[in-house]
Chains A and B, each alone.
Chain A
Amino acid sequence: MSKKKEERQLQIRQILEGKEKIKVAELAKLLSVTPETLRKDLDELQERKILIREHGYAKIQSSSVETFVELKAQKNKEMKKIVALEAFSRIENGMIVYLDSGSTILTAISALRNKSDITIVTNSILVAYECANMNLNIIMAGGLLFNIGKRTYGHFATEIIDHLSIDLAIMGTDAFTEKSHGFTTISADELGFKRHVMNQSAKKIMISDASKVNNKADIAPYAFCKFNEFDEFITNHLTAEQYDVVKTVKKVTQV
């Protein structure tokens, strides 16, 4: 797929995540493309079962990985909470801890109330908000704002990260399979940001609820790391086949 087409199709999906359904004519206008170009895109996305078309509208079909963070928090909430709590138990007093954007961490974030003398580093405004509520010390990696994910990216954000020594990074992922050789993200800008975080972190823990395991890698094309770069992977129960994919992570914890 050409890069331009790929980016455009990702954009279509992001728009649909936000609006659930949209008139095809409006979509063409938003993307500044001809109806024929858009028709081809929509054909492909429909074939991949990502959307369906109905009476001049395009409608989201499968649950793609990056939807509004607020909506995602509802799904699989319990599974995420268990995983997040396990990850938080790795936080020791006095640590500088990076917390990723994404719904998993948000489900259990109030548990941080019990920690003392920690500094939270994040690029997520929702995480920053919750931590400010609990009167924690926060370093906000500010920058350009990605409106759907409510998180920052770009040069300003990575500049701040590059100046920090992070004791523990608790990170999320959009998808991964055997083919991806590592954890992936749907956005190119998040790829860059996550790499900077990993470079500045002493210990790295990946968390993911079971729904992400073996998720179709084609919908999250950017691998931001190899599996073995993580010290621990915490998730819900894995089948033998799923475990096989991630076994090069130094430690796999199933909760």
Chain B
Amino acid sequence: MSKKKDERQFKIRQLLQEHPKIKISDLADYFQTSSETIRKDIIELENSKIIKKEHGYALLLEEPDEMPISLRNQEYIEEKKQIMKKACTFIKEGMVVYLDAGSTCLAGIPFLQSIHNITIVTNSIFVAYKCAKLNMHVILIGGNISNNAYRSYGNFASETIDYIHIDVAILGTKGFKDNNGFTTYENEYELKRHILQQSEKIIVVTDKNKFNAQPEYTYCKFKEVDVFISNTLTKENKSQIQVIPEIIEAEV
């Protein structure tokens, strides 16, 4: 998809969030393009069941967002989707799946929706909200939330995790340049250790920028991870993490 069309369709969704019914000709004026172009946009958006076209109007199908999650971190969205598609191949019917906070896991939720009877466990308000809207089965890990973050941590969180057996944990990471393991925020470190203990399979997902970003708190060594999924990696990248049994490069 061209970037311009991408942006225009994103903006159409945004506008409909605020005004759930807009004339197609008005949208054409707004974007200074033809009604035909807008009509084509709407048809594409119709396929994702987000909006629908009716008598010259574009109508919002999805419920208005209480949390404008989709307006957050849109960077590398295609890359994240491809990564998460690969991650989903490890998830089978009936599994308990831990989803980390962060935009990568968030991007993968629509793909998880189609797998039967899975339970999502997460400490992220956004992940919980998005899964709830898709009527998935969710356990939100409670605990402390602070500093404008939208994820829980602390004693309650760690203790809750200890009660749950996790089949697959999909975790993100902050920078790990020249490091021998994956890192995270200071207050998430402990929770992630507990998650590792409770999980059968650990999958780390990340965009490749993290290879060059400064490490923070190391929550696990590379060798503790079962699967690593990112986009196309350099030889150097691969050699740093070579101890991980399964390394997957998701192509866009």
Q: Which residues of A contact B (CB under 8 A)?
A: 68-70, 125-126, 128-129, 131-133, 135, 137-145, 147, 150, 152, 156-157, 159-160, 163
- Is residue B141 contacting chain A, with contact meaning CB distance below 8 A? yes
Interface residues of B in 16-74 (CB under 8 A from A): 63-64, 66-67
Q: Which residues of B contact A (CB under 8 A)?
A: 63-64, 66-67, 123, 125, 128-129, 131-133, 135-150, 152, 156-157, 160, 163
Q: Do the beta carbons of A141 and B142 come within 8 Å of each other?
A: yes
User: Which residues of chain B come closer than 8 Å to A129, judged between CB atoms?
Assistant: 66-67, 125, 129, 150
How near does chain B come to A16, taking the closest CB pair, in angstroms?
Answer: 14
Cβ-defined partner of A132 (8 Å) among B132, B133, B149: B149
Q: List 15 A-B contacts (CB under 8 A).
A: A128-B125, A129-B125, A129-B150, A132-B148, A135-B146, A139-B156, A142-B139, A142-B140, A142-B152, A143-B142, A145-B139, A147-B138, A160-B142, A160-B143, A160-B160
User: Known contacts A68-B63, A125-B125, A132-B149; is A144 also within 8 Å of B132 by CB?
Assistant: no
User: Which residues of chain A come closer than 8 Å to B150, judged between CB atoms?
Assistant: 128-129, 132
How near does chain B come to A161, taking the closest CB pair, in angstroms?
Answer: 9
Query: Which 7 A-B residue pairs are closest in the complex by CB-CB distance?
Result: A142-B142, A145-B138, A138-B145, A147-B132, A142-B140, A140-B142, A142-B141
Q: Do the beta carbons of B132 and A140 come within 8 Å of each other?
A: no
Bound: A129/B140 CA distance, A: 13
Bound: A135/B145 CA distance, A: 9
Nearest opposing residue in chain B for A164, CB measure:
B156
Q: Do the beta carbons of A125 and B142 come within 8 Å of each other?
A: no
How near does chain A come to B35, taking the closest CB pair, in angstroms?
Answer: 30
20 more CB-based (< 8 A) A-B contacts, given A129-B125, A133-B148, A139-B142: A69-B66, A129-B67, A132-B125, A139-B156, A142-B139, A142-B142, A142-B143, A142-B156, A143-B140, A144-B138, A144-B139, A145-B128, A145-B140, A147-B135, A147-B136, A150-B129, A150-B132, A156-B141, A159-B160, A160-B160
Nearest opposing residue in chain B for A163, CB measure:
B156
Q: Do the beta carbons of A135 and B147 come within 8 Å of each other?
A: yes
Bound: A128/B150 CA distance, A: 8
Bound: A129/B125 CA distance, A: 7
How near does chain A come to B105, taking the closest CB pair, in angstroms?
Answer: 16
User: Which residues of chain B come closer than 8 Å to A70, judged between CB atoms?
Assistant: 63-64, 66
How near does chain A come to B18, taking the closest CB pair, in angstroms?
Answer: 14
Nearest opposing residue in chain B for A133, CB measure:
B148
User: Which residues of chain A come closer than 8 Å to B137, judged between CB atoms?
Assistant: 145
Q: Do the beta carbons of B129 and A125 come within 8 Å of each other?
A: yes
Q: Do the beta carbons of A143 and B67 come within 8 Å of each other?
A: no
Bound: A160/B152 CA distance, A: 13
How near does chain A come to B33, taking the closest CB pair, in angstroms?
Answer: 32
How near does chain A come to B69, taking the closest CB pair, in angstroms?
Answer: 10
Bound: A132/B147 CA distance, A: 7
Bound: A152/B156 CA distance, A: 15
Bound: A141/B67 CA distance, A: 19
User: Which residues of chain A come closer than 8 Å to B139, judged between CB atoms?
Assistant: 142-145, 156
Q: Do the beta carbons of B125 and A160 come within 8 Å of each other?
A: no
User: Which residues of chain A come closer than 8 Å to B66, judged between CB atoms?
Assistant: 69-70, 126, 129, 150
Q: Do the beta carbons of A125 and B156 come within 8 Å of each other?
A: no
Nearest opposing residue in chain B for A106, CB measure:
B66
Bound: A156/B133 CA distance, A: 21
Cβ-defined partner of A140 (8 Å) among B136, B140, B163: B140
Q: Do the beta carbons of B140 and A137 come within 8 Å of each other?
A: no
Q: Do the beta carbons of A140 and B64 come within 8 Å of each other?
A: no
Nearest opposing residue in chain B for A144, CB measure:
B139
How near does chain A come to B57, taking the closest CB pair, in angstroms?
Answer: 19
How near does chain B come to A106, taking the closest CB pair, in angstroms?
Answer: 9
Q: Do the beta carbons of A142 and B160 come within 8 Å of each other?
A: yes
Q: Do the beta carbons of A139 and B144 come within 8 Å of each other?
A: yes
Which of B67, B128, B137, B140 has the most A CB atoms < 10 Å from its CB?
B140
Nearest opposing residue in chain A for B134, CB measure:
A147
Which of A68, A145, A160 has the most B CB atoms < 10 Å from its CB?
A145
Q: Do the beta carbons of A132 and B145 come within 8 Å of each other?
A: yes
Bound: A202/B74 CA distance, A: 44
How near does chain A come to B124, taking the closest CB pair, in angstroms?
Answer: 10
How near does chain A come to B182, taking the closest CB pair, in angstroms?
Answer: 24
User: Which residues of chain B come closer than 8 Å to A143, judged between CB atoms?
Assistant: 139-140, 142
How near does chain A come to B234, taking the closest CB pair, in angstroms?
Answer: 37
User: Which residues of chain A come closer than 8 Å to B123, judged between CB atoms?
Assistant: 142
Which of B123, B128, B133, B144 has the most A CB atoms < 10 Å from its CB?
B128
